[in-house]
Chain A
Amino acid sequence: MAAESGVSRRALFGVGAGTLAAGAAAGYFGHDAVAEAVGVGSDTVDFYGDHQAGIVTEAQDRMCFAAINVLTDDRDELIDLLRQWTKAAANLSQGLPVVAEGVAGGSRTAPPIDTGEAQGLSAGHLSVTIGFGRSLFRSEDGTDRFGIADQLPSEFIDLPHFPGDQLEDSRVGGDLCIRACADDPQVAVHAVRNLIRMGFGTVSTRWMQLGFGRTASTSPDQETPRNLFGFKDGTANVRSDEEKALNEHIWVTDGSWLDGGSYLVARRIRMHIETWDRESLDGQEQIFGRTKLDGAPLSGGEEFADPDFTMQGAGKQPIIPIDSHVRLAHPSQNDGVRILRRGYNYADGADSRGNLDAGLFFIAFVADPQRDYVPLQNRLASQDALSEYLLHTGSGLFAIPPGAKEGGYIGQTLFG
């Protein structure tokens, strides 16, 4: 039925039996009309705005992340794809198909333009965040493929090798990244899959990661979630209502093309789950410096109480151990550095020995990777008692351009 073409997934299956009938009677209608008719639901996230969605957006439970190679050397072809991605991501964020023709509204002799697996599902708070890798500015062989090498910010470093890193080539780097977060994994994967599909010939997927069970909260209303060690993680996260901290630590505010953007640090951190599970409760709490059940610092109080790093216990040893995670990661111990963590747990089956390949897909947004992430990670990797149970297997650093205005596209401030 051609008249279904522009109808949102919600309209078809939820709110809108009446709307659908009206729409069908009116024949074809476009996205805006539909979005208006069904009302933008409470489960949508605005794609357009000063900042890209998916950073201070209240953390959804699921993630699909793709690092992508750009195959073309043609600047216009790349810009065209960024334009297509912007439009498609905006539609998907409203719970609409990638284009008006949708799943079955196009020609019957052509492949469906939207792949269809999100049909009938709500928008699920989908956010799509697009980033640029350092290699987009200058390839490994030094080529300035797109005439943007002189726009490479000096803060945009190559992440150094950190102690204990065992990065796998197949999980490192990327010219671009797409990160979709949603309440429903099917919605997140649908978004990434359809964007990749639009780009065949122009781009190619380099590596991908699925994540579940958000490991950080980004608003004061969200409870701090747990990592696969069973501990609350990210208690000291920068939250969406901390405007001053966001401008200081998360958003780039230098007036450049990246102004209003940020950097996304991605680290695939495998956890030695089996070994960890054999550690006593006391031992686990000593390693984190927090209680397992409530996430309260070992110096007392509730979860959000400030840890007292000077408090001494038996034998005049600090109650929060010197090599505990909370101490080493705490802003007060890192020259006030704060990051916005927005990572996810992952479980990618078992390895050949039957151990879980599971852990944390760490994602942090920072304004300056050299200042905000490198010293912190060096410190954790070399001193944190937790690092004995961790193995960094994947890594990526991406500049996240500011948000786009309707009619514009992500990356416009860079490509013009």
Chain B
Amino acid sequence: MKVLSSDLSSSVRSPSDARDSKHPCSCARIAYEDLQPLVAKRDSDLDQTLKTRFKELQSQLGDHKDGDGFRLYTELSKDEVKELSDGVNALSEPLSKLTDTVVG
């Protein structure tokens, strides 16, 4: 999860296209699905937050679909990049607490 969370952040710092965010986001979500029942039991607030924020980021990324792929970051406006960055921050911050909830 640590790796996933830092992947998410770096994908926005030096991206080539929106797929770079979509990929780690999907990976993180799939990995989370395995842990979800445990997290729901130990910290239901965190589980809810993560579910919501995964959904929000997925939906944001969906806005930048272009055929089978995604628009290039260079095609996005400053505001669009900021919005994606906010979405990644919103997910990464609670995601950084996941390890502790699972193994702590």
| Interface pair B89/A201, CB less than 8 Å apart | yes
Distance from A200 Cβ to chain B, minimum over Cβ atoms (Å): 4
Q: List 26 A-B contacts (CB under 8 A).
A: A71-B90, A107-B100, A107-B104, A108-B104, A109-B100, A109-B103, A109-B104, A110-B97, A110-B99, A110-B100, A110-B104, A111-B96, A197-B93, A200-B89, A200-B90, A200-B92, A200-B93, A201-B49, A201-B53, A201-B89, A201-B90, A201-B91, A201-B93, A204-B82, A204-B86, A204-B89
The answer to whether the Cβ of B15 comes within 8 Å of any Cβ in the partner chain is no
Point out which of A108, A109, A197 has the most chain B C-beta atoms below 10 A from its C-beta: A109
Contacts of B89 in A (CB 8 A): 200-201, 204
Question: Beyond A71-B90, A109-B100, A110-B96: 10 further Cβ-contacts under 8 Å?
Answer: A109-B99, A110-B100, A110-B104, A200-B92, A200-B93, A201-B49, A201-B89, A201-B93, A204-B86, A204-B89
Chain B residue nearest in CB terms to A110:
B100
| Interface pair A201/B104, CB less than 8 Å apart | no
Contacting A at CB under 8 A, from B68-104, are: 82, 86, 89-94, 96-97, 99-100, 103-104
A107 CA to B103 CA in the complex, in Å?
10
Contacts of A111 in B (CB 8 A): 96-97
The 10 A-B residue pairs whose C-beta atoms are closest, nearest first, are: A201-B90, A110-B100, A200-B93, A109-B100, A109-B104, A204-B86, A200-B89, A107-B104, A107-B100, A111-B96
A110 CA to B95 CA in the complex, in Å?
10
Interface size class of B (residues with CB under 8 A): 10 to 19
Contacting B at CB under 8 A, from A62-118, are: 71, 107-111
> How would you classify the secondary structure of chain B's contact residues: helix, strand, loop or mixed?
helix
Contacts of A200 in B (CB 8 A): 89-90, 92-93
Distance from B31 Cβ to chain A, minimum over Cβ atoms (Å): 17
> How would you classify the secondary structure of chain A's contact residues: helix, strand, loop or mixed?
loop
A107 CA to B43 CA in the complex, in Å?
15
Chain B residue nearest in CB terms to A69:
B86
| Interface pair A71/B99, CB less than 8 Å apart | no
A111 CA to B97 CA in the complex, in Å?
7
Contacts of A107 in B (CB 8 A): 100, 104
Chain B residue nearest in CB terms to A106:
B100
Contacting B at CB under 8 A, from A371-407, are: none
Contacts of B104 in A (CB 8 A): 107-110
Residues of A in contact, count (CB < 8 Å): 10
Distance from A145 Cβ to chain B, minimum over Cβ atoms (Å): 16
Distance from A171 Cβ to chain B, minimum over Cβ atoms (Å): 14
Chain B residue nearest in CB terms to A198:
B93
Distance from A192 Cβ to chain B, minimum over Cβ atoms (Å): 16
Contacts of A108 in B (CB 8 A): 104
A306 CA to B86 CA in the complex, in Å?
52
A204 CA to B82 CA in the complex, in Å?
9
| Interface pair B99/A201, CB less than 8 Å apart | no
A108 CA to B99 CA in the complex, in Å?
10
Contacts of A204 in B (CB 8 A): 82, 86, 89
A155 CA to B75 CA in the complex, in Å?
41
Contacts of B91 in A (CB 8 A): 201
A134 CA to B104 CA in the complex, in Å?
43
Contacting A at CB under 8 A, from B21-49, are: 49
Contacting B at CB under 8 A, from A340-369, are: none
Chain B residue nearest in CB terms to A204:
B86
A204 CA to B96 CA in the complex, in Å?
18
Contacts of B99 in A (CB 8 A): 109-110
Contacts of B82 in A (CB 8 A): 204
A34 CA to B9 CA in the complex, in Å?
37
Contacts of A109 in B (CB 8 A): 99-100, 103-104
How would residues 171 to 214 of chain A score, 1 for a CB under 8 Å from any chain B CB and 0 otherwise? 00000000000000000000000000100110010000000000
Contacts of A197 in B (CB 8 A): 93
Contacts of A71 in B (CB 8 A): 86, 90
| Interface pair A201/B103, CB less than 8 Å apart | no
Chain B residue nearest in CB terms to A72:
B90
Chain B residue nearest in CB terms to A196:
B89
Chain A residue nearest in CB terms to B100:
A110
A42 CA to B13 CA in the complex, in Å?
43
Chain A residue nearest in CB terms to B103:
A109
Distance from A101 Cβ to chain B, minimum over Cβ atoms (Å): 12
A326 CA to B94 CA in the complex, in Å?
53
Point out which of B53, B82, B89, B96 has the most chain A C-beta atoms below 10 A from its C-beta: B89
Distance from A399 Cβ to chain B, minimum over Cβ atoms (Å): 24
Contacts of A110 in B (CB 8 A): 96-97, 99-100, 104
